[in-house]
Amino acid sequence: MVDTHLGRARLLAQGLVTRPYATPTEAVRAHGAMQGQDLPGAIASAALRTRGGTAEQVIADLDAGRLVRGYPMRGTVFLMAADDVAWVSQLCNAPMLRAQAARRGQLDLHEDHVEVASELTARVLAAHERGLPRAGLMQHWDQAGVPTDAGRGYHVLSHLIGRGEVAYGPWNGVDQNVVGRDRLPAGGDLEGRFNGDRTAATAELLRRYLISHGPATLRDFAWWTKLPQRDIRPAFTLIEHEVERFTGAGPEQDGEVRFGRPGLADELAERLAGPDSSDHRESTGRRMLLPGFDEFVLGYQDRMFAMSSSEHHLLVPGNNGVFKKSMVSGGRVVGTWARAGRPGKRSLELVPFGRLAKKDLAEYERLFEEFPFPLP
């Protein structure tokens, strides 16, 4: 059931209304991780939560090694603070690594292929401070007899990233170069950050998730990380004093309690009641253009708080995992959008779910002109 009150609360918690973060790295670290399949979209998501955020700021953090992309959980690539990627990966991605190992026979890959690629990658990347594009790295693998066609190169690379041996690092103009472990901050693994204490690490990731994504449930966090409840519930006892139960939205999901950052409900109520509540540029009801894989849509087990099931089919045609960019207004998704044309002649294409007023169109056009696109 669409719940615009919950949607407004989540927009506020995620920083999309207030842009409270001083840098893109601060924004990403606060969220724990941001969905990263679409790199330009991930860059935009970080910028849209940063004060005065631009794509250039995010790219600068990538180039400086403060931000990377990895495979920390769910077999999905995420944008992360560089000093978080190792411990979160160790905490969450063991199921992905096991599943990949089990699938290698279907790809006609062998463990020897992975180990040859691992050893060669370490040696090659040591000679390239800014790393190499994926294609350049895979050329070395091909020459060494590691097959990279038919998705096999991608499989090996994602496995090495999941093991913490490499990461996606500096921006190369269209994508990120692959860099070695030496580009990641030292001491960023579970042992270095938490003395190997998995419960403490789970608690830290849970705290960040509930504060940045809440109102959300422990079940939402379990879906987001794929960590089991037997690990999550003991961790919650360590941080429950740092979050508040949120009762301002609709019925609690399956009877579960939603939690958010302290003061979120009060801040939302003040914004809804205050004089700025009718100003779409400042209030939680403001219009927004979001990237296709933004955490506002993908950060929760149930997305129907922000759209109806029929609208969800329009956002994700065929439910194939490819999300269109979303138009947001009043705490809900109200349509999709695209960037059409060629560099220098770009235009906004809107596909609203309902009627679009002229003033709405003008506002979306303004947002399109200000959107933090990393590519021309």
Decide: 334 and 317 in contact? Cβ < 8 Å: no
Decide: 284 and 268 in contact? Cβ < 8 Å: yes
Structural Rg of the chain based on CA atoms: 21
In angstroms, the first-to-last Cα distance of the chain is: 38
Confidence category of residue 320, pLDDT binned at 50, 70, 90: confident
Decide: 232 and 218 in contact? Cβ < 8 Å: yes
Confidence category of residue 281, pLDDT binned at 50, 70, 90: very low
H or E segment to which residue 300 belongs: none
Confidence category of residue 272, pLDDT binned at 50, 70, 90: confident
Decide: 161 and 146 in contact? Cβ < 8 Å: no
Confidence category of residue 284, pLDDT binned at 50, 70, 90: confident
Listed by start position, the domains of the chain span 24-186, 282-370
Residue 243, number of CB atoms within 10 A of its CB: 22
Of the candidates 225, 193, 227, 197, the residue with the CA atom closest to the CA atom of residue 209: 225
Residue 337, number of CB atoms within 10 A of its CB: 21
Supply the pLDDT for residue 250. Answer: 56
Each residue's pLDDT tens digit, 199-213: 999 999 999 999 999
Segment 307-312 shows an average pLDDT of: 97
d(CA 217, CA 240): 12
What is the pTM for the complete model shown?
0.94
**Exposure letters 253-276 (e unless 16+ CB within 10 A, then b):** beeeebbbbeebbebbeebeeeeb
Each residue's pLDDT tens digit, 57-115: 999 999 999 999 999 999 999 999 999 999 999 999 999 999 999 999 999 999 999 99
- Looking at 111-125, 133-147, 165-179, 246-260, which range is the least confident one? 246-260
Segment 216-220 shows an average pLDDT of: 97
d(CA 162, CA 28): 19
**Percentages of the chain per state (helix, strand, coil), in multiples of 5:** 50, 15, 35
Q: Quick check: helix, strand or coil at residue 345?
A: coil
Confidence category of residue 263, pLDDT binned at 50, 70, 90: very high
Burial of 133 (0-12, 13-18, 19+ CB in 10 A): middle
CA distance readout (Å), 9 to 16, 22, 189, 209, 212: 10, 21, 33, 14, 11
List beta partners, residue 33.
none
Which residues fall within 8 angstroms of residue 336, CB to CB, at 6 or more apart?
314, 315, 324, 325, 326, 327, 350, 351
Decide: 47 and 288 in contact? Cβ < 8 Å: no
Alpha helices in the chain (DSSP H): 4-13, 24-31, 39-47, 55-63, 85-92, 94-103, 111-125, 134-143, 152-162, 190-194, 198-213, 218-225, 229-239, 264-273, 295-298, 309-315, 358-370
d(CA 368, CA 365): 5
Supply the pLDDT for residue 347. Answer: 97
